[in-house]
Amino acid sequence: MKTVSKAQIDNFMSQKKIAIVGFSRNPKDFTRNLSKDLSVRGYELYPVNPNANEIEGKKCYSNVNSIEDEINAAMIFTKGETLSANLDEAVNKGIKNIWLNFDQKFSSDVITKIEKYEKQGTNVIHGFCPYMFIEDPQFFHKAHRFFKKLFGSFPG
C-alpha cells in the first residue's frame, strides 16, 4: 500500500456526499459521533447499515448500491470479510474516494485489493482518524494531530 498524502486526504474531505458504511445503532459509537460532527460541517451523509431502516430519523441504506444519489466518497468502518466486500461494492459503484477503518490491521486480501484499486485510480485513505482533518475538531483530536505532526507521522 502506498503512503497516504495530505493531498489525498484533502481530496477526500472536499467531497460533500459521503456514505458511512457500518453506521452503528449504538448512539455512543464512533460512527455516530463522527457523523454528527461531519453533518454540522456541511456534509451530506448516507448511513449504511443492513440491520436498520432508520436511525435517529435518518434513512439507513442496506448497502452502498441502494443509495440512489450520486456519491463519490465512502467511509467504511466494518471489519474482516465485511470490510473486503464493502470495499469491492464501493469501488464497483464508482466511488473514487474511500476512507477505511483507521484502527485495524488489514488482511492480505484487503491489502491486495487496496493496491489494485489504488492502481486503478481510487483514492484509498487508511491509517488515519478522520477527526484529525476536519475543521476545528475537539481538543483531543487537535492534540492527536499536533503529536502526529511533531513526530513526523502526519501526511505531508
pTM above 0.85, yes or no: yes
Q: How confident is the model at residue 13 (pLDDT cuts 50, 70, 90)?
A: very high
Confidence of residue 128 (pLDDT cuts 50, 70, 90): confident
User: Nearest to residue 47, comparing CAs of 28, 100, 39?
Assistant: 39
pLDDT-wise least confident of 11-20, 23-32, 140-149: 140-149
Q: How confident is the model at residue 132 (pLDDT cuts 50, 70, 90)?
A: confident
* Cα distance between residue 96 and residue 91, in whole Å: 7
Where is mean pLDDT largest: 35-44, 127-136, 147-156?
35-44
In the prediction, which pLDDT does 102 show? 75
Residue with cell 499536533: 146
Q: Which domains does the chain have, with CATH numbers?
A: 6-150 (3.40.50.720)
140 or 45, higher pLDDT: 45
Contacts of 95 (CB under 8 A, 6+ apart): 19, 64, 71, 72, 73, 74, 122
